[in-house]
Amino acid sequence: MARAAEVLAAGGVVGYPTEAVWGLAARPGHAAELHRRKGREPGKPVQVSCPDAPTALAWARPSAALTALSDLWPGPLTVVTAAQPACPPDLAPGGQVGLRVPDHPLARALLLAAGPLATTSLNPAGLPAALTRREAARYALADLLLGQDTEEAPDPQGLASTVVALPVRPGEPARILRAGALPPEQVRAVLAGVGLALETAP
């Protein structure tokens, strides 16, 4: 973890396992490096991964829906919500930030050692996300890979995190932007408790 923190502090990129798929991390000020390594267009959103829910909540404007969904962290859930004004623009395009608290011991250890990180799935643009350390190594996107040679994501289906966007304007529903490892029914039940509907994006 100390070596990973050094790599990140120097502007490098670290690959790490999560409970969903393998991730690729950089310091918040170096999010553009994730786009460059993956060969994706600049400005595409990345998520902010945090070691715990209170840290994640500090990046966003408070809301009852966000507080309710934070009970599902740690877990395979990314919540897109209004960012705090101090959030760097490259992490909050359009004023919206994607927040995640992974439920994997190595991922959380990395975040505890290095602080919140800009993260995305570990794969070149257009290719499937890595499910094992060996697949991550073959992609050769990271300066350092965590885990053992046989390390696999605990989820055998290899599903990415479920992405939920909270409404920008009052009266709008929340939307599932990407179906993933967390069942929509679980998200819907939590949001119903604060009077918010959930719809699946077409």
For the segment 165-196, what is each residue's pLDDT rounded down to a tens digit?
999 988 899 999 999 999 999 999 999 999 99
Helices 105-114 and 2-9: angle between axes, nearest 10 degrees: 50
Q: What is the pLDDT of residues 103-135, one digit of tens each?
A: 999 999 999 999 999 999 999 999 999 998 999
Contact criterion met (CB below 8 Å) for 118 and 30: yes
List the chain domain ranges.
Answer: 2-62+78-157
pLDDT at 102 over 60: yes
201 pLDDT band (50/70/90 cuts)? low
Looking at residue 53, the DSSP 8-state letter turns out to be: H
pLDDT tens profile 17-73: 999 899 999 999 999 999 999 998 877 889 999 999 999 999 999 999 999 999 999
pLDDT at 146 over 90: yes
> What token pair was written down for 93?
């395009």
CATH number for the region 2-62+78-157 comes to 3.90.870.10
| Residue 202 predicted with pLDDT over 70 | no
pTM, to two decimals: 0.91
**94/66: higher pLDDT:** 66
The predicted structure's pLDDT at residue 68: 97
Q: Are the beta carbons of 124 and 139 closer than 8 angstroms?
A: yes
Is residue 155's pLDDT more than 50? no
At 42-54, the pLDDT tens digits run 778 899 999 999 9
Contacts of 10 (CB under 8 A, 6+ apart): none
What span, in angstroms and rounded, lies between the C-alpha atoms of 64 and 181? 23
Phi, psi (5° rounding) for residue 147?
90, 175
How does pLDDT run across 72-92, given as a tens digit for each residue? 999 999 999 999 999 988 899
Residue 153: pLDDT above 80?
no
What is the layout of strands, in order, in the sheet containing 174-178? 144-145, 14-16, 23-26, 117-121, 47-49, 96-100, 77-82, 162-165, 174-178, 198-200
Classify burial at 111, counting beta carbons within 10 Å of its beta carbon; exposed 0-12, middle 13-18, buried 19 or more.
Answer: buried
